[in-house]
Amino acid sequence: MTETIEQEGFAPEFPILYEDNHIIVVMKPQMTACCPDESKDENLLDMVKNYLKVAYKKPGNVYVGLVHRLDRPTGGVMVYAKTSKAAARLTAGMQKGEFEKKYLTVLCGTPSDERGTLCNYLRKNTVNNMVYICTSTEDGAKYAELDYKVLQSKSKYSLVEVRLHTGRTHQIRVQMAGISHPVFGDMRYGGALAQKGKLALWAYSLSFLHPITKERMKFIVSPPQEEAPWKAFDLAEHMEIK
């Protein structure tokens, strides 16, 4: 496959971490939507379709199944399905808790507890596309839970690993802001506490069972180590923490 692409002078617009007949694992660039939305902007799902169409000379429409999502400002690991069978099995696996998603983020300030679990109810306002912490009885309330661990503190910022138990829109951003430690660069939820810059939130580790072989697969991708605020931390050391 690689030789074919090189011979044709074609290169995908995104890094490919793994590919077989059933799935393709890629790195989503920050500020790229993971699938088509109202903006009509270029999106990763269509990029993957175009790559498969050109690389394998596929006629007509190419199937690519969206299994999970990342918010537009968040970069990192994503898996797409290349067949409807793989998509159905991956989706079922996610519902059964077979996916493990870990994020790295740089927070403004350092949480008082080195480790913690945040449990909230969140509701989304579709008019302004904002998510709010709410009570369990409010209309549209959805339960949200995550674990966090402080890996390193530097002056006014901290490098934190987050493991999601639920996958709510803007979940990490809203729950961290809820404890007064917004994500670096998150002007939407951080307000005066946040620092201007690219959102420091990265889906660095994704683990799941292969939909056909049932093999446990794990992929790790580092945030952009040369960029602020990531370059202030020893990412290589901390990404080895299990």
Distance (Å, rounded) from C-alpha 210 to C-alpha 215? 5
Q: Which segments of 96-210 does DSSP mark as H helices, in order?
A: 171-178, 187-190
pLDDT score of 240: 64
pLDDT in tens, 174-222: 999 999 999 999 999 997 777 778 899 999 999 999 999 999 999 999 9
In whole angstroms, how large is the CA radius of gyration of the chain? Answer: 19
pLDDT score of 104: 97
- The residues facing 124 across adjacent strands are 131
pLDDT score of 41: 85
pLDDT score of 10: 60
- The residues facing 203 across adjacent strands are 76, 103
pLDDT in tens, 54-113: 999 998 899 999 999 999 999 999 999 999 999 999 999 999 999 999 999 999 999 999
Q: How many CA atoms lie within 13 A of 78 on its CB side?
A: 28
Sequence spans of domains, the chain = 1-97+206-228, 99-197
pLDDT band for 122, please (50, 70, 90 cuts): very high
pLDDT in tens, 36-59: 887 888 999 999 999 999 999 998
**1-97+206-228: CATH topology:** Pseudouridine synthase (3.30.2350)
**99-197: CATH topology:** Pseudouridine synthase (3.30.2350)
For residue 229, whether the previous peptide bond is cis, meaning omega lies within 30 degrees of 0, is yes
Q: Which long-range contacts (CB under 8 A, 24 or more apart) does 188-196 make?
A: 188/130, 190/108, 193/108, 193/109, 194/108, 195/108, 195/229
Three-state DSSP at 13 gives: coil
Mean pLDDT, residues 130-135: 97
pLDDT in tens, 18-33: 999 999 999 999 999 9
pLDDT band for 120, please (50, 70, 90 cuts): very high
Q: pTM of this prediction? A: 0.91
Three-state DSSP at 25 gives: strand
